[in-house]
Amino acid sequence: MAAQRENTKIESRLFINGKFVESSDKKTFRLLSPSTREVVAEVSEASTQDVNTAVAAAKAAQPSWAALSPPERGAYLRKFATLMREHMQDLAYLEAISMGRPVRDYIDGFVGARLWEWFSEAGWAIHGSTSLNSPGMVGMTLLQPYGVAAGIIPWNAPVIFFSSKAAPALACGNAVIIKSSEKAPLTSAFLATLAEKAGFPPGIFNIIHGHGTTSGAALASHMDIRTLSFTGSTATGRSISIAAAKSNLKNLHLELGGKSPAVVFDDADLESAASDTQFGIGWNAGQICMANSRIYVQDTVADKFINIFKEKWGNVKIGNPLDNEVGLGPVADSLQFEKVNKYIELGKSSGAKVILGDKPVQRSQLNDGYYIPATIFGEIPEDSKTMKEEVFGPVVCINIFKTEEEVIQKANDTEYGLYAAIFTTNHSRALRVAKAIQAGTVGINCSAPTNLPDLPFGGYKSSGIGREGMIHSMRNYLEEKSIMTKL
């Protein structure tokens, strides 16, 4: 990835009904670079009126979009994917300057483009079923688009979530409104310029920016939005559920937080377990829903594992995300910075051992950015907040266990259930533990962010409702109708 992209055009307006517009009340919000705290952009803040305008445009345009054949709709998606592939460096650059993602580890554009390519062909897979089980009757089901779909996305991997919501919604014949996160709107705004180039019919694909309490809440309670997919915090998932319940009971898909355990048994390949789990918490400075933020290592190999882990993470270079050698950038903004530091303080006062990261980063040395050192806690009480809650920063807790039964109980002692990792060379144990763990995704001898694009991804317990992933995403955007006919 190029370290400097001075030619990247920064778009920061709303894309509604096929046009770039400022917000109706001209309000903007300021986006700061987390690595320098300099102003990067003044971004249009969508008002409730802007949401209403986008929904009305979407509602008017959707029937003729749904009437197109799968390859006719797919051609637009294919074009969009091609444009994305041509602009990877712009996307990487914009994410680095808005939320601090190191360009070295930028994969989101590639993951996103692959989704657009897949969904460009997927319209053919929309099939209902038939039934001949009732004498004298024939039954069939139709799968039809909901109409207007909305996607509300977070800031940690915006292009992936933008794509995993917009592409299936459009492929299924819906019109869509995507709201970016106020912490990282620039890649979504850039993708809007690609949507314009791809030539989507006006109103079919709307992209707005702004805070959750205004435009996010307006989408969640809108009477004409019939399905909404959200990725973000569990707290906001609850607010959206309440807003949906109080308005039109829209269909919801929620992908929420995590506190994912990784379990390392004594027969595991320790080098690769340490490597994978270090990347699992280190990637994107730990700001990933599925990050393995709790690691349980078996007592007999604990010292050895912790030493390898500590050495690997200690060697990751911290600094400017535009520097090709940097693996640990700043956290997204001042709120994230305060929140993660609070959990570090809580970890220290809980009596945990600080294995790595005992000193804060000298901010003056790194342009006053929101840098947090790679932090490892050991022997942390299982009931401490740092061990229980989603920290969303470069902080990992490594505790020791003795037996399989004990570690299953500890791994499951959480309200979250998004992802879990198991490291062992004993195949039956791997599957036995995978079966016992309450999580929507389990990696055996691999950890987050490893994820197969065609498997269903989603949470057990408070980590969410519903699933996403290639064919599995399509159910979030299709309503099912039963038709029966008397012979």
The footprint of ligand NAI (CB under 6 A) covers 152-156, 179, 181-183, 211-213, 216-217, 220, 231-233, 236, 239-240, 256-258, 289, 336, 339, 390, 392
In this structure, are residues 104 and 328 in contact, taking their beta carbons and an 8 Å threshold? no
Residues 6+ apart with CB under 8 A from 403: none
> What is the smallest separation between the CB atom of 373 and ligand NAI, expressed in angstroms?
18
Q: Of 79 and 183, which has the nearer Cβ to ligand NAI?
A: 183
Active site residue 255: yes
> What is the smallest separation between the CB atom of 458 and ligand NAI, expressed in angstroms?
12
Q: Of 162 and 205, which has the nearer Cβ to ligand NAI?
A: 162
Tokens standing for residue 320: 């400017």
Q: Of 45 and 196, which has the nearer Cβ to ligand NAI?
A: 45
Nearest by Cα to 416 from 465, 459, 381, 449: 459
Q: Which of 11, 45, 196, 255 is catalytic?
A: 255
Q: Of 201 and 456, which has the nearer Cβ to ligand NAI?
A: 456
DSSP string over 10-23: ---SEEETTEEE--
Q: Of 177 and 433, which has the nearer Cβ to ligand NAI?
A: 177
Q: Of 62 and 181, which has the nearer Cβ to ligand NAI?
A: 181
Cα–Cα distance list, 467 to 109, 125, 165, 174, 345 (Å): 21, 17, 11, 18, 35
Three-state secondary structure call for residue 31: strand
Residues 6+ apart with CB under 8 A from 221: 243, 244, 246, 247
Distance CA 141, CA 358 (A): 60
> What is the smallest separation between the CB atom of 255 and ligand NAI, expressed in angstroms?
7
Q: Of 147 and 154, which has the nearer Cβ to ligand NAI?
A: 154
Task: Give the residue nearest to ligand NAI (CB).
Answer: 212
Tokens standing for residue 191: 């993708």
> What is the smallest separation between the CB atom of 232 and ligand NAI, expressed in angstroms?
3
Segment holding 347, helix H or strand E? helix 334-349
Q: Where are the alpha helices (DSSP H) in 140-294?
A: 158-171, 186-198, 217-220, 234-246, 270-282
Distance CA 105, CA 140 (A): 47
Q: Of 87 and 209, which has the nearer Cβ to ligand NAI?
A: 209
> What is the smallest separation between the CB atom of 333 and ligand NAI, expressed in angstroms?
9
Strands 28-32 and 39-44: antiparallel
> What is the smallest separation between the CB atom of 220 and ligand NAI, expressed in angstroms?
5
Distance CA 464, CA 255 (A): 5
Burial class (CB in 10 A: 0-12, 13-18, 19+), 314: middle
Q: Which amino acid is at 39?
A: V
Output the CA torsion sign for 92, 93, 98, 102: positive
Quickly tell me which residue has 């998606």 as its tokens: 77
Helix axes 70-86, 186-198, angle to 10 degrees: 130
Output the CA torsion sign for 386, 388, 392, 393: positive
Residues carrying an active site annotation: 255
